[in-house]
Structures are given as C-alpha cells and as structure tokens.
Structure 1
Amino acid sequence: MEIPIQDRADVLVKALPYIQKWAGKTIVVKYGGNAMINEELKDAMMRDIVLMQLVGINVVLVHGGGPEISAMLKKIGKESKFINGMRYTDAETMDIVQMVLAGKVNKDLVKLLEQLGGRALGLCGLDNRMLMAEKKAAAEDLGFVGEITSVNTAVINDAVEKGYIPVISTIAGGYHGETYNVNADVAAASIAAKLGAMKLILMTDVKGLLRDKDDEGTLIPVVNVSEVPMLKKEGIISGGMIPKIDCCVDAVRQGVGRAHIIDGRISHSILIELFSDEGIGTMFY
C-alpha cells in the first residue's frame, strides 16, 4: 500500500529536529550479526550510514566478521573452536582473522559505501597503533585474543576531518610485535569513549534488552546504568547480553552520551533510532 504524500512529508518534517540535533556530532556504530550476512539488510544499513554522513553526522563504523572468519577457516579445512563464546585464536587462525577482517570484509564495506555515494576509508586497529592490546587473561588459554589497553584516535579524527567515514576492523597490535583478535563490541565502546562520541550504537540480532528473553513484547526501552547490577542479579541481563551491556555501561561511564542496543534484523533500524520520536531497542544512559 502506497503511503499518502502528506504522511511522507510529515515523516521528513519530524526528522528535521533530529537531523539538526546530530549534525556535527560523532556517532560510533558497531556493525555485525545478521545485518552483516543478509545482503538486503547490509545494503539498507550502508544506505543509512551514507545518509547519516550526508546530513552532517560524523559516523565511525566499527565492524566484526565472525561468520566470514568461520567460513574461511572451513575452506582451508580448519575447525572453528570457541571457549565460553570466544573464538580460540592460534597463530594460523590469527592470520585468517587478519586477512578476512582487515582485508575482504573491510574493503567490501568501503566499496559498498562508495557505490552508494559515501566517502569511506578502510582502517584497522594496527593503523597508527590505533588499538593496542595485551593477551586476554582467561581461565582457559584463548591464544591470540586480546584485551584493549590503549586507543589512539588520531587517524580516525584525520579521516573524519577530511570527510571520510572510517570503517574499522578490530585487529589490535601487541607491545612485542603480536597481533590480537579483539571483541568488536569492546573495541567500538573504547573508540566511542576516546572520541567523546554522542552515541554508541551496537547492532545485534535481538530486539534489545528483554525482561523475559523469550518474549519480545517485554522490551526494556531505557536503562540507567546504575540499574544494571540489579538487572544482572535478577537474571534479566544474562548470557551473551552481559558483555554487550557491560560495553554500553563502560562507554556511558567514560563520557559517551548514550549507548544503544538495537535490532539489526530490522531494515533501516538505525534511522528509526536516530530520526524518529519512537526510537528502537534499548538505550543506556
């Protein structure tokens, strides 16, 4: 059914205050999950990013690429191994992670953004020592999985000032020549904090934080970070949501204006969040 012309005009008029609000501000978007492997959702997402740039928002795109890494490992006959939800990364796997993330995935996203009229620059955490890390301490050895120890945003700021969308893959350097695989949510939160971003947006495969994980009708739209320990104690924040929400809490406590977990399975979800009264997902403040 075609949307009436007046309704379309109303949508644009209602978006205007939000466009004015975010123009000139920095928003860090972590992109991953289903939105990354579904071509239709990927196209919609990249169009959203280009639109954000064209209305004057300084967009920084941080991406993962777990499914692509697993697919490449399968091609070379190497089994993916996970320990407590984290990829075990031996030296050979680290080579594949770097090749896939900083190579194919990163450059495919840059190419798509450019095709859609954006200006994009592909970067990774090794560039200008953007992300430095040490081996992650864990109960079981995870190999070359790193914990970020410092963030240098100079090259990101340079790219933004010159009118580019920085597209960042989350490979980090070690202090003795190592290369580490680091969690993309953590990297995005660390980058957002260092940039003093107005917003951090984590794209996920869930609607947001649910009071009942099996009922999408129980979405909690707004959470003060001070409420998080109690929500954990009540079991509302559990499992795979814990590290994502910890990233949001860390970002807000380090000065990011707002952090959001939004559903990347919904086409143009990021525009709904930024440019409408309703918003989408769960916001942490």
Structure 2
Amino acid sequence: MIVVKLGGTEGVNFSSICADAVSLQQQGRQLVFVHGGSAEANALGEALGAPPRIITSPSGYTSRYTDRKTLEIFLMAVNGKVNSLLTEQLQGLGLNALGLSGLDGRLLQAERKEAIQSIENGKRKIIHDDYTGKISAVNSALLHLLLGAGYLPVIAPVAVSPRGEALNVDADRAAAMVAGALQAETLVLLTAVPGLMAKFPEESSLITRLSAAQLEGALDAAQGRMKKKVLGAQEALAAGVGQVIIADGRIAAPISSALSGKGTVIA
C-alpha cells in the first residue's frame, strides 16, 4: 500500500504522477491519492476579491486563514476543480479513480480549532472564526471498501467536525493520517522541490536520508511549508507507516523515482 500526497503548489506535475500511477498499478501496487490545491484556491480567491491570508503560529507553522467565505472558496477550488480534474485525468488513463473529500462518509473526522494563535507584526493575536481542524480519526473501513472494490481513492483535504461542519485540514498531515490508518508501507509526499534541504533553497543541500530520531532536529530546521511535511512524516511513522519519502513532483515518474530512493527517505 502506497499513499501519495500530491502537492498543491505550482510546478507539481499531475500528468506525470497519474501516468506513473498506471505503471505502478500494472505492477500490482495499491495506491491512495491525497491532494492539495493551494495554488488553485489562491487564484480563485484573488479572482473573487478574497485574496489568501497566510497566518504564522508562534511555533513557526504557516496555514491559510479560513473564515466561512474562504472555506467556500477552498471547497470550490479544491473539492470542485482540483479533485474533479485529477479524477478525470486518472479515468482517462484507465484507472478507476473515485474522487471524494473527508466530508464524504465522514472519511476524515476532525476537531475544529475554536481559537488559534497567530503572530502578526511581532504581536500574538487570537483568531476565533477559523474553519480549520486537526484530524482525529480516519474512516479506514470506507477506504478498505473502496480499495477492495478496485477503486483508486482521490481525497481532497477537507474534514468534517462532530457538528457536521466542513473544515480545512493540512493535506500533508491528512495524508499521514490516511497512511497510518491503512498501515501503508510507504507515504510519498510529492512537492515542487527535490526533498528536504539543509540550506533551502540550495538543491545541492538535499538531505537524502533521515532516521525517525533525527526528525525533531529537522523540524526545527525546516522552513515554510516544509515544516508541515516533516511534521506529517513524524506523525506517519508514529502511526506505523514503514517509511516516508519527501520527493520531487516535477519530474517524470515521480512516485517510482521516490520509491527507488530519490528524495529524502525517512525511516
């Protein structure tokens, strides 16, 4: 079982990833896709007069401020466009992909963050109207049902709260939770860089291997969105995933390349 997270930033080549998935399924590999969609959500927000607002937590993690209007834009862009087009592309290649989000069948269950802290202009601010959450459970029975029926699940990073609210959740950590729930042998996090770099953005400083014990130090050193990927890797390994690979999603056959050891292999 391989769980693949497709980064939502510009540059990640969905066409190459989908073509590679065909090859891997022909080899008998079972796949689950989790995708992002930040670039599409940003573009739609700009077009609708609601540009994205990125907030930074006191510990240095960045996330999208998601009030109700932003949530609806996110749903249109990510659940609507990105998920549908990715599913269409896989279907066009002969893979029986099934697009869904964590809302469907309560696939991804999360607790809404009633108050989050943000650092703005050096000052700590409390935000109360944010529709984001941390995943607390995965409906693995639903995923096993779909996989057993021959589907390739394509999951958008939206969860459901106990009150039935849609919540924006981090796609890297969602993929980690899915991989843990399925006890996947590998979680592949595809992004627009070669992997974790010691001196970002110098690609020559790529870190090729990390042990689980080294992740805490890597978490401190990682910058920007990479911090969430390292955190997701940590959570996946703790949940029983065999290995996590942060790898380049811009190249040909990116999943196969990652499985051959290219990128940052964490085990």
TM-score (norm 2): 0.88
- Contact 1:269-1:280 at 8 Å conserved across structures: no
Shift of 1:271: 1.6
Aligned residues: 252
The alignment status of 1:128 with 2:105, answered yes or no, reads: yes
Structure with greater Cα Rg: 1
Q: 1:272: Cα distance to partner?
A: 1.6
8 Å contact kept, 2:99–2:153: yes
- 1:30–1:61 CA contact under 8 A, matched in 2: yes
Question: Aligned partners of 1:121, 1:260: CA distance in 2, in Å?
Answer: 24
Structure 2: distance between partners of 1:230 and 1:97: 33
- What are the equivalent positions in structure 2 for 1:162-241 lying under 5 Å apart? 162-232=149-219, 235=221, 237-241=222-226
2:7 corresponds to which residue? 32
Separation in structure 2 between the aligned mates of residue 38 and residue 46 of structure 1, nearest angstrom: 15
8 A contact 1:33–1:205 mirrored in 2: no
Query: After alignment, is 255-264 or 150-159 more displaced?
Result: 150-159
Is contact 1:260–1:282 with CA below 8 Å preserved after alignment?
A: yes
CA contact (8 A) 2:245 2:266 kept: yes
Query: What is the CA–CA distance in structure 2 between the aligned matches of 1:173 and 1:231, rounded to whole Å?
Result: 31
Summarize the alignment of residues 10-29 of structure 1 with structure 2, pairs less than 5 Å apart.
26-29=1-4
Q: Could you say what secondary structure the match of 1:143 adopts?
A: coil
Q: Which has the higher contact order (CA 8 A, sep 6+)?
A: 2
Residue identity in the other structure for 1:154? A
Q: Which protein has the bigger strand share?
A: 2
Name the residue aligned to 2:227.
Answer: 242
The structural deviation recorded for 1:128 is 1.3
Relative to structure 1, is the Cα distance of residues 158 and 271 closer, same or farther in structure 2, using a 3 angstrom cutoff? same
Q: TM-score, normalised by structure 1?
A: 0.83
Quick one: distance in 1 between partners of 2:223 and 2:192?
A: 15
1:59 matched residue in structure 2: 31
Matched with 1:76 is 48
Unaligned runs of 5+ in 1: 1-25
- State the match for 2:123 in structure 1: none
Who is 1:144 aligned against?
Answer: 131
Moved more, 136-145 or 180-189: 136-145
The alignment yields a C-alpha RMSD, in angstroms, of 1.7
Residue 177 of structure 1: how far off its partner (Å): 2.5
What is the CA-CA distance between 1:42 and the residue it aligns to? 2.0
SS in 2 for 1:78: coil
**Deviation readout 1:217-246 (Å, 9 max, x if unpaired):** 22221100101223456x3x3443222111
Q: CA deviation at 1:187?
A: 0.3
Residue 282 of structure 1 pairs with residue 264 of structure 2? yes
Matched position secondary structure for 2:178 = helix
1:253 Cα deviation after fit: 1.6
Whether the aligned pair in 2 keeps the contact of 1:33 and 1:203 (CA below 8 Å) is no
Cα separation, 2, equivalents of 1:28 and 1:56: 14
Paired AA for residue 244 in structure 2: A
1:38 CA displacement: 4.9
Which structure 2 residue ranges, 5 or more long, are not aligned? Answer: 57-61, 118-125
Does the CA contact (< 8 Å) of 1:272 and 1:280 recur in 2? Answer: yes
Change (3 A) 1:33 1:69: closer
